[in-house]
Amino acid sequence: MLEDKEQALAVHYRAAPEFEWKLRRIVRQCAVPLAPEYHVLDGKCVVEIKPVAASKGHAIRAFLGEPPFIGRVPVFVGDDLTDIDGFACVEQAGGVSVAVGDQLPAMLHLGSPREVHALLGLFVVDARYTQ
């Protein structure tokens, strides 16, 4: 499946994993003339051509500089290679990085989306008592 992200293009192959290496090679070839402004980012069952300057870390930094996020402690949850720069950003900002699974470098690791929901529920309960 081809996903147009306006500034980026992603090819998802979850429905056809047998084409993974062929798709990755084709996407890399397509990205060559776009360098150095664009690069290829690999993820779980996806390969993406995206601007070098665009990342989850950049987006988090932008949010942290705007109300109502100024001065808040960021928490970032992710489950893919594309989330690693987001983890690093929130940790540098004094926040907490949370990975679903044990394959990514994060401060906390949860085993499933159900555990993420439980953690988020704790934040909601805590927020009610601190207001």
Answer yes or no: do 83 and 102 share one domain: yes
Q: In this structure, are residues 92 and 64 in contact, taking their beta carbons and an 8 Å threshold?
A: no
Answer yes or no: do 46 and 61 share one domain: no
- Structural domain harbouring 74: 56-130
Answer yes or no: do 41 and 92 share one domain: no
Question: How does pLDDT run along the chain (131 residues), one tens digit per residue?
Answer: 999 999 999 999 999 999 999 999 999 999 999 999 999 999 889 999 999 988 899 999 999 999 999 999 999 999 988 899 999 999 999 999 999 999 999 999 999 999 999 998 888 865 555 55
**Predicted local confidence at residue 43, as pLDDT:** 87
Q: What is the pTM of this model?
A: 0.77
At residue 97's C-alpha, the angle toward residues 108 and 24, to 5°, is 105
Helix/strand/coil percent split, the chain, to 5: 45, 25, 35
